[in-house]
Every structure is written in structure tokens, then in C-alpha cells.
Homo-oligomer: A and B are copies of this chain.
Amino acid sequence: MKENLARWLMRRALRLVGDPPVRIRLWNGLTEAPPGVAPRFTVELRDPQALATLLVNPHLYFGDAYAQDRIRVDGDLVEFLGIIYRSGRSAAAPQRGLYRLFWDWQARPRANTLQGSRRNVRHHYDLGNDFYRLWLDPQMQYTCAYYPTPDAQLEEAQRAKLDYICRKLQLRAGDRVVEAGCGWGGLARYMASRYGVSVRSYNIAHEQIVYAREQARALGLQDRVEYVEEDYRNIDGEYDVFVSVGMLEHVGPDNYPQLGAIADRVLTPEGRGLIHTIGRNRPGLMNPWIERRIFPGAYPPTLKEMMAIFEPNGFSVQDVENLRLHYARTLEHWLERFERHAEAVARMYDADFVRTWRLYLSGSIAAFTSGELQLFQLVFTRAQNNALPWTRAHLYTDSSEAGAEERKVHAA
């Protein structure tokens, strides 16, 4: 490749991501950086294909090339991706006709029809329980933890998250809970064993359901926890509590009014609901590489978009908490454990898989740290329900051992 052309193409690639303080080095040693900035990182493009795909869509193909080891980054990956997120804010998507169409077409999330959801969800969650067990906590919580203090460990923080959700839902012994999307079923088991409630949890990821059922049996909870391998759209019955942790990302905004209608159909007059989801400050698609390679069909909503669940169904929003920095911390803990087991993961899959997940976890830390993504935990009730906690103080003052003892009594 002629030097002038190569330089022009590198500058163009940098411009597509908002001219970050990053130097590109080609396979032939040529380097280029945005004008007037001091580069803090060097990205090595190890063959011409890496450059070519970056020019087509850096947000989509950087990840692929990184996974295939065609691109290397010197220095801390999380910090590098944070810089890319921040400079990306000022970068415009291409404006011109066909190229723009192609760009948008590439970025569209996969549809979440009944069939599409099953395909999308299995792509990710049925990778194999052994893989997730390597780096998740013992409760297999694959959602944002809640760190009572910044230096809490992952296990403690995941337990605290489970309990925090139970408190926000004012769980009482005997309550009937329905869960939309249950992962490996940890929340359902926690609720049943600690709060004496019965739980019916819906999930379409087969491997997770199998694991969840085994665990419930091992704990003797099979009479109080039922895992149903069905889409949330098939939820029926009557419940005191509706809870959904980390599923809304996979629902898609078109289906929000329907999700709310389901909660409306099954909740009692004094029923409580909680939705825990990744979100955004402004509407926007998931990073296209993550949507494509990691989470097909995923879409993180803004609070405004989420209101399509509640407003048409007359629900009243009681409490919204943004736990963005807790998700950054959770992901840091996951990445740390993942790296400790990188060799085992490479043996289970291959080196590309390890790099794919390294990039995904690192990019997610960067997204939550830089404020690109949010984590919303929202509590809702029916409009006319006056059986509300008087203040939120009980969420914080009740965490003593005495409180725990009292809950055990209730649960007995």
C-alpha cells in the first residue's frame, strides 16, 4: 500500500471514532495519530484486513479483529476503551446515503419475537454453565451486584443485591412471586429460603433452567420454587410480586407495553413490581459488536422509554435508583476472575473466545465508568395501592443481624 493512501485511511479510521488520543501502527510500521493530540495508546493493526474492516465500521469490526488477534492494544484495555467511549460521543456516524444505510442496517438489533428471543437468548446464556461458573459468584448472579461499601467482595455484594431487591419488594412470608427471566435461578432460591415466599420463574435458556432446577432440589426448595422453561409472554396466574432482573435488555422497546400489560394482568391490587435493567441517558443502540457477538437482540432503554411499560398500564413508579458504578465494580470483579481462568477458558473454547470475552468485559467496565451505560432499578405498584413503605429508611436500617433474625422468623 502506498504510504499516502495508508496514512489517509488511518486518519479516516480515527475520525470515525471521534479522533481519540490514540496512535495506529500498521503491520509495516507506519504510524498515524489524530492531528494535535498526544496519543496515550497505540493500536497495532497486524494485517490489511484489520484496517479494511475498521473503515467499514469500527464499532462493529474492531471487536472481531481484536478477537482474531489482528488488532492489538498496548496498555490497559479498560482505560483504552474508556477513551474510545468518551471520544465517540463527539463522533458522528457517517452521513452519506448508501454508506449510512449500510451502517444503520448493521447496527439494527435482532428481532425479539417469541422465536427470535429464544435464539437470541440461547446464543449467550447457553454457552455452558461450566464457563460461567469459572468467574461468577457461587449464586451464579450474572447481573449488577450491590456493594454496601466500595470495598465489598463480589460474593457479599451479590448476596446484598438479592436482599436489597427483596426489601425493595417488601417481601413477606407467603407471598407469591413471579419472575420474568431468572438466569440460573439464584434470586428465586434466595427469596424462597430467606423470605418464605413461593416463586415461579420464567426463562427460555435451557441450560440455565436445568441448573436452576438441580440447585433448588439440592436445597429442598422444589416445592416453593418452580422454574418454567417458557417465554415471559406466557406468564399467567396471580401474584403479589412481579420481578425481573436483567431481562428487560432482551425485551426490546416494541414489547414494553405488553410486558406492562402482563404485570397488570397478574399482580394483585397491593402487588409490587421491580425491574432491574441496563439503561441509557439518551436513546441509542447497544454497541453493535456486543449486540452481534455477545447479546443478540439486546437494547438498553432510557427511563423515558421504560415508561412505556408503566404509563399505559396505569402503574405508579415509586422508586428509581441508578447503580451504574456498582455495575462497573461488578464487571471489574468478573474480569479479574475471568483472567485468572483465561487458560481454562481457552481450553474449553479457543484463544479467540478468550479475547472476545476480555474485550466484552473490559468494554462494559468502560461503558459504565464513563456514563455511557446506566443501571436502573425501578419499583412500581398500582396507582391506588396505599400499602407502601412510609420511607425508604427500612432499606438501610434493617440490615442488622436482628433484622436478619426477624426475617428468618417470618420465613419459618
Contacts and interface: CB of A to CB of B under 8 A. Distances in A.
B386 A369 contact: yes
Given A304-B311, A383-B371, A396-B397, A388 B320 contact: no
A160 to B, nearest CB: 10
Interface string A365-388: 000011110100000001111101
Among A86, A314, A316, A319, the most chain B Cβ lie within 10 Å of the Cβ of A316
For chain A, the bracket of interface size reads: 35 or more
Contacts of A370: 384
B314 A282 contact: yes
A322 interface: yes
Interface of A: prevailing SS: mixed
A391 interface: yes
Interface in A296-342: 302-304, 307-308, 310-312, 314-322, 324-325
Contacts of A308: 304
Given A146-B391, A283-B311, 6 more contacts: A148-B393, A149-B390, A318-B321, A372-B383, A392-B395, A397-B397
Interface in A92-113: none
Nearest to A371: B383
Contacts of A35: none
A243 B388 CA distance: 27
Interface string A107-149: 0000000000000000000000000000000000000001111
